Structure 1
Amino acid sequence: MIPLALNSSRLRLGLAGAGTPALRRLRALRAAGAGEELRVFTTDPALSAEAGAATTPRLPTPEDISPLNLLWIAGLEEDIYRPLAQAAQDAKLLLNVEDVPEFCDFNSVAEIRRGDLLLTVSTGGQAPGLAGAIRKRLEACFPESWATRVKEIATLRQGWRAERMPMAEAARRIDTLVEEKCWLSCPKLR
């Protein structure tokens, strides 16, 4: 696996699906910043209602799929997802069919968002329940206050860059600050 953080504003994203798995994926994509670039293909009224204007009220055609960069398929039966997956592979876009490893070019990760801080856990799709359990433990170690901490460090870093401080010195100062404030002590992981 190659870990990446993708800028969703530069990508054409698609979600085809129905039911709880597709709703869960839609919410995760929105939490990750997917906005107008996300197209949702569904005949599920609940998913359609939540997706709003992003909805195309049918499953995608190969013509719908080919301009996409990434496609998630969730909550569809095999006889429905297989031709969609084949069209995605033919179009050479990145594909994830939930819980079907043979159709996964990438795996979605368990994630924790604290403002601009993004922590992820992956087992390469082999043990998603374990990734979720680790995520829960990390949530306790990285509370919401980390959003403010990231902003604090970012402000300091901007000032140091304006002063043309060498990167190594800025990193040393950040390490010292984190140590002095005990930000990384988490007894719950022991």
Structure 2
Amino acid sequence: MIPLALDPARVTIALAGNGPLALRRLTQLREGGADPQVFSPEPDGELAALAGDRLVRALPEASDLDKVGVLYVMGLGTEAETALADLARQRRVLVNVEDVIPLCDFHSPSVVRRGDLVMTVSTGGRSPTVASLLRQRLESLFPEEWAERLRTIAELRNRRRAEGASMSEVARESRDLIDREKWLP
């Protein structure tokens, strides 16, 4: 596995699915800054509401996928998911079919977000339970105040770089601040 962090401002993401897994994935994508087109032939009320004007009440066609870089698929049944994964690959779109490892070009890690601090855990799709348990541990080790802590470190970095400090000086000063404030156990 090669971990990557995608910038949704540069990579167009779409979701094709129905049910609670589609709702969960759409929520996660939105938390990451994406506003994906949602293709759902039979969306429930919650999915339709969350998707809003980004909802298309059909599965994507080849022309739809020509505008997409990454496609998430779930809750459509084996036949539709397999066909959609094949179509996506033909269009050179990276695809993830939820919980169907042979149809996945990539796996989505379990994520902890603290502002711009993003920590992930992946088992390569082998054990979502292990990834979830480790994510929960990270959440307890890195509480919400880490969002502000990261802003503080970023301000220090930006100020010191503008003053002409080298990257090694900034790194040392950042470590000193973290140690002084006892942010890490």
User: TM-score range, shorter-chain basis?
Assistant: over 0.9
Q: Does 1:45 align with 2:35?
A: no
SS in 2 for 1:164: coil
Measured on the aligned residues, the alpha-carbon RMSD in Å equals: 0.9
C-alpha offsets along residues 116-155 of structure 1, whole Å, 9 cap, x if unaligned?
A: 1101111111111101000001101100100110110111
Residue 29 of structure 2: aligned partner? 29
- Matches of 2:174 and 2:156 in 1, distance apart? 9
**Bigger shift: 38-47 or 145-154?**
38-47
- Matches of 1:78 and 1:13 in 2, distance apart? 22
Which sections of structure 2, spanning at least 5 residues, go unmatched? none
Residue 188 of structure 1: aligned partner? none
1:99-118 to structure 2, matched below 5 A, reads: 99-118=99-118
Q: Does 1:180 align with 2:183?
A: no
TM-score normalized by structure 2?
Answer: 0.96
Question: What is the CA distance between 1:67 and its match in structure 2?
Answer: 2.0
- Matches of 2:79 and 2:123 in 1, distance apart? 28
Question: What is the CA distance between 1:9 and its match in structure 2?
Answer: 0.9
1:108-147 to structure 2, matched below 5 A, reads: 108-147=108-147
Question: What is the CA distance between 1:49 and its match in structure 2?
Answer: 2.0
- Matches of 2:82 and 2:123 in 1, distance apart? 24
Which sections of structure 1, spanning at least 5 residues, go unmatched? 186-190
Residue 161 of structure 2: aligned partner? 161
**Bigger shift: 45-54 or 83-92?**
45-54
Question: What is the CA distance between 1:66 and its match in structure 2?
Answer: 2.4
**Bigger shift: 58-67 or 106-115?**
58-67
Residue 79 of structure 2: aligned partner? 79
SS in 2 for 1:7: coil
Q: What one-letter code is carried by the residue in structure 1 that aligns with 2:80?
A: I
Q: Does 1:97 align with 2:106?
A: no
Question: What is the CA distance between 1:17 and its match in structure 2?
Answer: 0.2
> Does the 8 A contact of 2:19 with 2:44 survive in 1?
no
* Number of residue pairs the alignment of both structures matches: 183
- Matches of 1:158 and 1:19 in 2, distance apart? 44
- Matches of 2:101 and 2:162 in 1, distance apart? 47
> Does the 8 A contact of 1:62 with 1:84 survive in 2?
no
> Does the 8 A contact of 1:48 with 1:57 survive in 2?
no
- Matches of 1:80 and 1:5 in 2, distance apart? 28
Q: What one-letter code is carried by the residue in structure 1 that aligns with 2:73?
A: I
- Matches of 1:62 and 1:159 in 2, distance apart? 48
Q: What one-letter code is carried by the residue in structure 2 that aligns with 1:10?
A: R
- Matches of 1:123 and 1:45 in 2, distance apart? 30
Question: What is the CA distance between 1:4 and its match in structure 2?
Answer: 1.2
**Bigger shift: 4-13 or 140-149?**
4-13
